């Protein structure tokens, strides 16, 4: 994987991390402490993976960069769609669960990169 590909993957992981922060804030504002706590736990787990990847940035990563980029982009798109529906007060609980699933998918991709 090239340096540029590594940087692009880290950028996509950072996008997801920022969205998790935003989702937590949405839950805090909506007085949903349990859901906010779930996003907080995912945020902490994702941060561990991102930090590990940053430490390994200059080492060889295994895997297909294009499929990883696609997987991360699909998850980020799903998180974004969930955010928009939560903001619009549409099926909030269902969209929180969906967003958590997408975030878990990103964590799995990040963990696979680090393995």
Q: Model-level pTM greater than 0.85? A: no
* Domain housing 110: 3-114
- Chain segment 57-87, per-residue pLDDT in tens: 645 555 566 777 888 889 999 999 999 999 9
Q: What total number of domains does the chain contain?
A: 1
pLDDT, position 65 = 66
**Which among 12, 5, 6 has a CA at the least distance from the CA of 71?**
12
pLDDT, position 64 = 60
pLDDT, position 28 = 95
Residues of the chain with pLDDT under 50: 58
């Amino acid at each position: 994987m090239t340096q540029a590909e590594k940087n692009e993957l880290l950028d996509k992981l950072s996008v997801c991390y920022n969205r998790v922060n935003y989702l937590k804030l949405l839950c805090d504002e909506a007085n949903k402490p349990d859901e906010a706590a779930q996003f907080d736990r995912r945020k902490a787990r994702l941060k561990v993976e991102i930090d590990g990847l940053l430490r390994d940035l200059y080492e060889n990563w295994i895997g297909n960069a294009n499929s990883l980029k696609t997987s991360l982009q699909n998850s980020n798109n799903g998180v974004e769609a969930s955010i928009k529906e939560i903001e619009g007060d549409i099926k909030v609980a269902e969209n929180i669960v969906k967003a958590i699933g997408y975030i878990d998918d990103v964590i799995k991709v990040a963990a696979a990169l680090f393995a």
